[in-house]
Amino acid sequence: MKKKRKSGKDGSLLKDVVAIGILICFFLFVVSLYFKEPRGQRVFVKTKTEKNKKRLKTKVIAIGDVHGDEDVLRRLLFATGATDKVLGEDVKWVKERNERTVLVQTGDVVDRGKDSIGSFTFIRDIRAQVLVPGDEDDVDRRQIRLLVGNHELMAIQADYRFVAKEELVALGEAQMEKYGEQVKIHPDSTIGKKALQKVGLLRWKKLFAPDEAFGKEIREFGSVVTVAGEGNCKSAFSHAGVLPEHLKEMKIRSEDYDNTDDSGLKKSLDKVINEHYRNSSKGVQMSGNSWQERSRLPSWINGGDGVFWTREPPDASETNGGCDKIKEIVDLLGVKRMVIGHTVQWQGMNSICGGKLVLIDSGMSYAYGGRKREAFVCEGVNGVPMAVDTNGKSRRI
Ligand SMILES: *[C@@H]1O[C@H](CO)[C@@H](O)[C@H](O)[C@H]1NC(C)=O
């Protein structure tokens, strides 16, 4: 049958052969194009995308010490245009055309207020919306960056002195619900509350353990300092402030880094500092011997004058040479200024040392009274640091 059909339709067979031939030729042509593509052309294509990237206007938003106030965190992100609404589960990151927004949280998301876990979760959820594979590899160049504050450090060192009792009760209740409420604890009784706090603390400990999400976040992906912004907005952000003596303690020499070529053989200074931190915090376990763990960390991390605890930068003055140190570190990092949180500025965000140091902890959390609720914003090449409040009103810092 087949043979008969074949011989009977010689004309169409010829057509088929020609068609297949043309298809094969076309396929080979396409394949040859791919393999013959000169290297130069590929480089050209890459440069073109890089140029496109460069044309994006950069906007830097920094949020200081949240301290368990998820509500103010949500309001500030909305007021700065980073998100599309304040409340709800489905808050979306706003992707502006021709603009790349970098969000830096300068540490101390947790403790004092009752929504530490909620605040942490909210930022992580927003970040998940913008994480691209490249960002995943390069923590220090992510679009949304979380710095470590002394309170995050306490969370991984089993220091729970500042965890809000109210939050522990809530965590305890949620945990009991998971157990199917087999044991009813009444939160109105003192003993009941204490019991719930104990259960809540177990939950808290688990969340910040080395292999858990928040614990990993602080140890492996946490940063001491990050550089963001372009032109006049290019700033280094850190929690309490990096000083020249910290670099000495880390034994970082000028030949160990290169700020000018991030893709080159040497890393920029901020990356080198963060690597030192991550190498040190990796081994931090929470245990009954937490004080031992604490003392094992180098003093530039754990000391009262260390990068997470020092009060020296906000106290800096020209007379005791404090501002000279700030200028030195700002130059070493290759930025216009250093931006820090950690020390509450009751009058709101402000700057010292001729604008080289910007202080952005406005005490936004309700736990502090939340009188000044401000975010740092700097936009474009010629931008200046602005304080934006929850109503979207802005002023120069
Ligand atoms: C961190 O640890 C890695 C792996 O041990 C090592 O290669 C790297 O040099 C360390 N970085 C610093 C800054 O000490």
Q: What tokens appear for 295 in the block?
A: 């003392």
275 lines ligand 1 (CB under 6 A): yes
Helix (H, G, I), strand (E, B) or coil at 328: helix
The closest residue, in CA terms, to atom 3 on ligand 1 is 279
**Which ligand 1 atom is at minimum distance from the Cα of 278?**
1
Span from the CA of 217 to the centroid of ligand 1 (angstroms): 18
Binding site membership of 279 for ligand 1 (Cβ less than 6 Å): yes
Q: Going by C-beta distance under 8 Å and a sequence separation of 6 or more, which residues neighbour residue 139?
A: 145, 221, 223, 274
Atom of ligand 1 nearest to the CA of 275: 13
Please calculate the CA angle 121-348-145 and round it to the nearest 5 degrees: 30
Domain locations in the chain as residue ranges: 2-36, 59-156+208-396, 164-203
Mutate to test the pocket of ligand 1, among 267, 275, 277, 278 (most ligand atoms within 8 A of CB): 275
CB-count burial class (<10 Å; 0-12, 13-18, 19+) for 4: exposed
Nearest alpha carbon to residue 117 among 187, 215, 223: 215
| Half-sphere CA count of 49, side-chain side, radius 13 A | 5
Q: Which two tokens stand for residue 129?
A: 């919306």
Q: Which atom of ligand 1 is nearest to the CA of 276?
A: 13
For residue 272, give the ligand 1 atom closest to its CA: 13
Spacing, Cα 343 to ligand 1 middle (Å): 31
Tens place of pLDDT per residue across the chain (397 aa): 444 444 445 556 667 766 766 677 566 665 555 554 444 334 444 444 555 555 789 999 999 999 999 999 999 999 999 999 999 999 999 988 888 999 999 999 999 999 999 999 999 999 999 988 766 678 888 999 999 999 999 999 888 999 999 999 999 999 988 877 656 677 678 888 898 999 999 999 999 998 999 999 999 999 999 999 999 999 999 999 999 999 999 999 999 999 986 667 889 999 999 999 999 988 777 766 666 677 788 999 999 999 999 999 999 887 788 999 999 999 999 999 999 999 999 999 999 999 999 999 999 999 998 789 999 999 999 999 999 999 999 999 9
- Say if ligand 1 is within 6 A of residue 253 CB: no
Query: Does ligand 1 come within 6 angstroms of the Cβ of 276?
Result: yes
| pTM score | 0.84
Q: In sequence order, what DSSP letters do the residues of 145-197 get, joined into one string?
A: EEB--HHHHHHHTT--TTS-HHHHHHHHHHHHHHTTSSS---TTSHHHHHHHH
Report whether 175 contacts 200 (CB < 8 A): yes
- Answer whether 143's CB lies under 8 Å from 101's CB: yes
Tokens 């619900």, residue located: 177
Q: How far is the CA of 220 from the centre of ligand 1 (A)?
A: 13
**pLDDT for the residue numbered 38:** 40
Task: Look at the alpha carbons of 212, 214, 215, 221 in this order and tell me if their dihedral is positive or negative.
Answer: positive
* Entry field: residues in the chain: 397
**Max intra-chain CA distance, the chain:** 105
Q: Residue written as tokens 């009792």?
A: 165
CATH 3.60.21.10 for domain 59-156+208-396: yes
Residue-level pLDDT at 262: 60
**For residue 237, what is the enclosing H or E element?**
strand 235-238
Tokens of 164: 């809000």
Residue 266: left if φ>0, alpha if ψ -120 to 50, beta else—which one? beta
